[in-house]
Structure 1
Amino acid sequence: MNMKYLFTIILTFVTIVSFSQEKEEQELLAMQKANDYVYQGNEKANSEDYIAAEMDYRKAISSQETNVAGAYNLGTSYYKKGNLDEALYRLTQAAKNATNKENKHKAYHNIGNILMQNKKCKEAVEAYKNALRNNPSDEETRYNLGLAKECAEQQEDQQDQNQDQNEDQENKDENKDQEDQKDKEGDNKEDNKDEGDQDKKDGEDQEDDKGEPKDDKQDQGKEGDNEKKEQQKPQQQPGQLSPQQIKNLLEAMNNQEEKVQEKINAEKQKGVKVQTDKDW
């Protein structure tokens, strides 16, 4: 084997070993530093200086992202303050990074408590189950699991009831819409019927029993009456005097007779002497 090649291999191995040792040392230093921050945070939390404690827990997580104690204690601090969303996030982080069952059990147990307060009972059931998988002997977790199951069943029943009510309401609304549509169609039919009846009435007013227009019939009737009157008048025969001509002729004869009589009377008066009064 070439000595140069052998030297290269040995140098590479030494470099790898050295790098690994350095990395381990850095990880140990980070863990130690994170644990120190956790310790300081616990001391401040015991003194009820929760704001300072939270800062130390954050520093612990920044020094070592997988630090379970820092995430767990920070989540617990948020939980005590009522900041449930942040608490849930940190405890979930702790449960994920935990390497022993006891830490996982504690994290999942508190996750279940947070979910119960958020009224997410079905999710809480799964959290308590995960806690019992890591510590089956914890009676408190088992008790909480029973409460979560009962709560989940009640929520499911309520959801089913709400769904049934919603479906009933939708059916009522649909039936009402159909009835309204039928009523609208019925109103339209009544309107059309009224219009038809009016048209029919107008037509009957304009037509007689035989279906002929009344106006035309009235005109025909007037013409017929005029013709009938003309027929009832006495017709003048050829060579015969009309009543008016006869009347005129009689009046002329009477006038002539009166003139003759006046002439006769005048002649008689000429032959009679009239006595007059004496003049004084």
Structure 2
Amino acid sequence: MKLKDITLLVVLVFFFGKGVAQDDKQKQKELRQSKELLSEASLKMQKDNFPIAEAEYREAIALDPSEEVGKYNLGTAYYEKEKNAEAMKRFEQAAEVATEKPEKHKSYHNLGNTFMNEKKYKEAVEAYKQALRNNPTDDETRYNLALAKKMLEQNPNQGGGDDGDKEQNKKDENKEQDQKDNKDNQGDNNDQKKDQKEQDQGEKKEDKKEGDQQNDKGKPEEKEGEQEQKPQQPVPGKLSPQQVKSLLEAMNNQEKNVQEKINAQKTKGAKVKSNKDW
């Protein structure tokens, strides 16, 4: 190889490495911005400033689509504002990208609640089952599953359809929603920052009027991007406590009967030893 060729190769490697480093640096910057936005959005929700919180959650999701925290928290925010369809999409997205079982459990549990609100009992049953696969000990999810099964028995026409097509449609809708978030945030970024600045100025004036009382109370320390620990709301139903108890007992008995059948089959297939010398 000639010296000229070696020099050209070194230059190419240098610029390629520099480009990769810049891309990595930009990605790390976006991840930090996403966490900061999640923290700010959480504070805005605590102060019941839903429009700004929603915008910041969506911007955080656009910066880091692989993170489930923003999607879960935005779903919770929609759920509390009774925006059931929007909450359903966000919980679906959160369940898809979640990597840890506790996060998957909460996302599927709340997704089941949104299906119950829409009277989609078959989908609710499947969502609660998924939640229990990730946390089999949650009694609230077991109660909601029993209720969903009971409602599906009473309303067999509610829910159903081609599950494969539905699952693909959900994924397509979630992908379209992420793309829409990215596009909307690029177009509305300046307006959001302006509104946020005005809101922050108003909040500072209000905080100043409160005097030293707020300083005495103090505020708990919050981590960047920390997921809000929202209590899981049980699905309201028409069943009495005795009916619920009966449903749970029936589920436990069914599991016990299945296990006994399995044990009986194992015993039946075992060879019996004899002491007789034939």
What are the ranges of 5 or more consecutive residues in structure 2 without an aligned counterpart?
160-278
Say if 1:34 and 1:67, in contact at 8 Å, map to a contact too.
no
Q: CA deviation at 1:9?
A: 4.0
Give the corresponding residue for 1:269: none
Give the corresponding residue for 1:130: 130
Give the corresponding residue for 1:115: 115
Give the corresponding residue for 2:141: 141
Q: CA deviation at 1:104?
A: 1.9
Q: Give distance in 2, aligned partners of 1:125 and 1:87.
A: 18
Say if 2:121 and 2:158, in contact at 8 Å, map to a contact too.
no
Q: Give distance in 1, aligned partners of 2:20 and 2:129.
A: 39
The TM-score with structure 2 as length reference comes to 0.51
Structure 2 counterpart SS, 1:156: coil
Q: CA deviation at 1:113?
A: 0.6
Percent of aligned positions with the same letter in both sequences?
42
Q: Give distance in 1, aligned partners of 2:107 and 2:158.
A: 30
Q: Give distance in 2, aligned partners of 1:77 and 1:31.
A: 22
Say if 1:116 and 1:148, in contact at 8 Å, map to a contact too.
yes
Q: Give distance in 1, aligned partners of 2:100 and 2:23.
A: 23
Deviation readout 1:197-231 (Å, 9 max, x if unpaired) = xxxxxxxxxxxxxxxxxxxxxxxxxxxxxxxxxxx
Q: Give distance in 1, aligned partners of 2:106 and 2:158.
A: 31
Q: CA deviation at 1:157?
A: 7.8
Q: CA deviation at 1:55?
A: 2.1
Say if 2:34 and 2:61, in contact at 8 Å, map to a contact too.
yes
Q: Give distance in 1, aligned partners of 2:93 and 2:129.
A: 18
1:85-96 mapped onto 2 (5 Å cutoff): 85-96=85-96
Q: CA deviation at 1:8?
A: 4.1
Q: Give distance in 2, aligned partners of 1:78 and 1:27.
A: 28
Structure 1 counterpart SS, 2:156: helix
Deviation readout 1:167-192 (Å, 9 max, x if unpaired) = xxxxxxxxxxxxxxxxxxxxxxxxxx
1:164-243 mapped onto 2 (5 Å cutoff): none
Q: Give distance in 2, aligned partners of 1:13 and 1:134.
A: 46
The TM-score with structure 1 as length reference comes to 0.51
Q: Give distance in 2, aligned partners of 1:42 and 1:141.
A: 26
Letter of the 1:71 partner, please give it: K
Give the corresponding residue for 1:154: 154
Say if 2:30 and 2:64, in contact at 8 Å, map to a contact too.
yes
Cα separation, partners in 2 of 1:86 and 1:9, compared to 1, 3 Å: same
Larger RCO, structures 1/2 (Cα 8 Å, 6+ apart): 2
Cα separation, partners in 2 of 1:4 and 1:67, compared to 1, 3 Å: same
Give the corresponding residue for 2:61: 61
The structure that is helix-richer by fraction is 1
Which shows bigger deviation, 143-152 or 75-84? 143-152
Cα separation, partners in 2 of 1:8 and 1:149, compared to 1, 3 Å: farther
Q: Give distance in 2, aligned partners of 1:152 and 1:18.
A: 59
Count how many residue pairs are aligned between Structure 1 and Structure 2.
Answer: 159
Say if 2:125 and 2:145, in contact at 8 Å, map to a contact too.
yes
What are the ranges of 5 or more consecutive residues in structure 1 without an aligned counterpart?
160-280
Q: CA deviation at 1:125?
A: 1.1
Cα separation, partners in 2 of 1:2 and 1:82, compared to 1, 3 Å: same
Q: CA deviation at 1:16?
A: 3.6
Q: CA deviation at 1:75?
A: 1.1
Say if 1:60 and 1:67, in contact at 8 Å, map to a contact too.
no
Cα separation, partners in 2 of 1:25 and 1:134, compared to 1, 3 Å: farther
Q: Give distance in 2, aligned partners of 1:89 and 1:76.
A: 11
Deviation readout 1:99-118 (Å, 9 max, x if unpaired) = 33322222111100100111
Q: CA deviation at 1:138?
A: 2.4
Say if 1:31 and 1:67, in contact at 8 Å, map to a contact too.
no
